[in-house]
Amino acid sequence: MGGVTAVLGIGAAVLLVSVIAVRMSVRLGLPSLLLYLGIGVVLGESVLGIQFEDADLTRSLGTVALVLILAEGGLTTRWSAVKPALGLGIALSTVSVAVSIGAVGVGLHYLLGLDWRTALLWGAVLSSTDAAAVFSVLRGVGVGKRLIGALELESGLNDAPVYIAVVLLASPDPVTWTAPALMVYELVVGGVIGVALGLLAAVGLRRAALPATGLYPLATVAVCLLAYTVGDLAHASGFLAVYVAALVLGNARLPHRSDTLSFAEGLGWLSQIGLFVLLGLYASPARVLDVLWPALVSGAVLVLVARPLSVLCAALPFRVPWREQVFLSWSGLRGAVPIVFALIPLIQDVPGAQRLVDVVFVLVVVLTLVQGSTLPRLAKWLGLVRSGEAWEMEVDSAALDELGAELLQIRVREGSKLHGVYLSELRLPVGAAVSLVVRADAGFTPQPTTRLQEHDQLLVVCTEAVRIAAERRIRAVDRAGRFARWKGDEGLP
């Protein structure tokens, strides 16, 4: 039990420090992902001395974290925001990936002397933008929805083709003409699985009468995880399946949707924190100096040549203005995904794989620091920040806490004495009011003359001070009707 206690204590401490680091990163203007990596490095062999060198376990846990991050990204992405950028987003996640792999491979073959297959493997590992970095950094930049939607789609979709490319190039088997057909199969079937499970789950969750509100977020996330599993078992892209399933569910009329999004967001943060701390713990700063030069060369080829060229090729059919192309080129944020993918050739004992892992770690730190911290200024300099842009506002308990208010949801069950009571006869205490009535799936703002009916759902806003009194009054009327007080029913539990 001592070992379990120590692990729980260390995990809780790391999580608390990481949560506080989010606030610090905002004040310092640095991406919080770097602070998580730093926490892992501090815990590791070079500082506090925790030894962690299990590449297979790191890749497995990293894959789980990536699945949860993709699920959170899909659930919180609004279809109305990404629909105008659908074509551009798909092009960035396919055409741009292919061009980037080729450009990086050619550059590293001639500049670093890598053989062609190794150079293309490096290009494949480095070509994937990171969903965690994009979702955490770009949504606060303030540029138009079309750009943000394209970048979110790219980061959510490009993990799938990049993963396939890395597996093919890291395999000892020769890459044949069937590789493109295999990639098309995996992407198409993975997308179909995601859409099918997302639609089926949306219908099922709307019809299910689960006994607790908290079960709906759990069921939604479970469907996303199931999509990855089904995709993997079908030898298709599990990453694409989970993102598409989450995208479908996030834009469906789910019960308790706000609770589901809040739960998914919390899981996303937990996955990001755990993943980057784990990768920092696995990294070895002692090897950084040995790979500094190849890392800088690779970063220069990637950022200055491969990324702009790949964006140009992907955006050509869509007539994207040059300012937006510059922003898209600089927004190719790298994070945990390249590090996790770099562990695949290491596990398969590919020659030089450890060097690739170290190079990618250095690049992630450097590029996240440089690109992530300069994106807001670049957007302003290019004139892309839109002060009047409309964004979806998420309302949750945090905002109510600032107001000292709470929300109560009441369902008028069959046989309730609330049936037939006029709203004016409900006589809630001062500080409480019925703000919304949902009847037959249609919501409306009630009036004093509104008469409650069975199966109505009421949303009551009240201050914390009168919550108990409001609950007692509603409970009393539910049991004894409009004359509950005269009948001596005080609404006690």
User: Taking 70 as the threshold, does the pLDDT of residue 23 lie above it?
Assistant: no
User: Taking 90 as the threshold, does the pLDDT of residue 308 lie above it?
Assistant: yes
Are residues 445 and 364 part of one domain? no
Residues in the chain: 493
Query: Residue 409's domain spans which residues?
Result: 403-480
Q: What predicted TM-score, i.e. pTM, was given to this entire model?
A: 0.71
User: Taking 50 as the threshold, does the pLDDT of residue 391 lie above it?
Assistant: no
Percent of the chain with pLDDT over 90: 18
- Mean pLDDT calculated for residue range 176-181: 77
446 falls within a domain: yes
Tracing tokens 């070509």 back to the chain, one arrives at 127
Element (H, E) at 200: helix 178-207
Are residues 316 and 204 part of one domain? yes
Minimum mean pLDDT range among 38-52, 260-274, 337-351: 38-52
Are residues 302 and 268 part of one domain? yes
User: Taking 60 as the threshold, does the pLDDT of residue 29 lie above it?
Assistant: no
Q: How far apart are CA 161 and CA 124, in angstroms?
A: 9
Range 451-475 burial, b when 16+ CB lie within 10 A, else e: ebeeebebbbbbeeebbebbbbbbb
Are residues 359 and 418 part of one domain? no
Are residues 177 and 52 part of one domain? yes
User: Taking 60 as the threshold, does the pLDDT of residue 165 lie above it?
Assistant: yes
User: Taking 50 as the threshold, does the pLDDT of residue 134 lie above it?
Assistant: yes
Are residues 430 and 316 part of one domain? no
Whether residue 98 contacts residue 84, with contact meaning beta carbons closer than 8 Å, is answered with no
Q: What is the DSSP string of 35-76?
A: HHHHHHHHHSTTTT------HHHHHHHHHHHHHHHHHHHHHH
Tracing tokens 């609950």 back to the chain, one arrives at 471
419 vs 139, residue with greater confidence: 419
398 falls within a domain: no
Minimum mean pLDDT range among 226-235, 244-253, 387-396: 387-396
Alpha helices in 208-291 (DSSP H): 215-233, 238-250, 257-282
Whether residue 80 contacts residue 152, with contact meaning beta carbons closer than 8 Å, is answered with no
User: Taking 70 as the threshold, does the pLDDT of residue 270 lie above it?
Assistant: yes
197 falls within a domain: yes
Q: What is the pLDDT of residue 85?
A: 84
Element (H, E) at 372: helix 353-381
Q: Which of 218, 264, 307, 308 is nearest to 69 (CA)?
A: 264
Are residues 434 and 367 part of one domain? no
Q: Which of 15, 138, 135 is nearest to 70 (CA)?
A: 135
Q: What is the pLDDT of residue 158?
A: 84
The counts of H helices and E strands in the chain are 21, 4
pLDDT digits (tens, 9 = 90+) for 401-440: 556 677 888 888 888 899 999 998 898 999 899 999 999 8
492 falls within a domain: no
Number of domains in the chain: 2
Are residues 353 and 457 part of one domain? no
User: Taking 50 as the threshold, does the pLDDT of residue 357 lie above it?
Assistant: yes
Q: How confident is the model at residue 310 (pLDDT cuts 50, 70, 90)?
A: very high
- Mean pLDDT calculated for residue range 105-131: 89
390 falls within a domain: no
Are residues 377 and 411 part of one domain? no
Q: Which of 472, 488, 490, 481 is nearest to 408 (CA)?
A: 472
Residues 6+ apart with CB under 8 A from 364: 37, 334, 335, 336, 338, 339
- Mean pLDDT calculated for residue range 116-140: 78
Whether residue 212 contacts residue 161, with contact meaning beta carbons closer than 8 Å, is answered with no
DSSP 114: -
2 falls within a domain: no
Are residues 374 and 431 part of one domain? no
Are residues 221 and 283 part of one domain? yes
Q: What is the pLDDT of residue 101?
A: 93
14 falls within a domain: no
113 falls within a domain: yes
Q: How many CA atoms lie within 13 A of 468 on its CB side?
A: 3
DSSP 422: B
Task: Residue 218: give its domain's CATH number.
Answer: 1.20.1530.20
Q: What is the pLDDT of residue 395?
A: 43
Are residues 305 and 229 part of one domain? yes
Task: Residue 443: give its domain's CATH number.
Answer: 3.30.70.1450
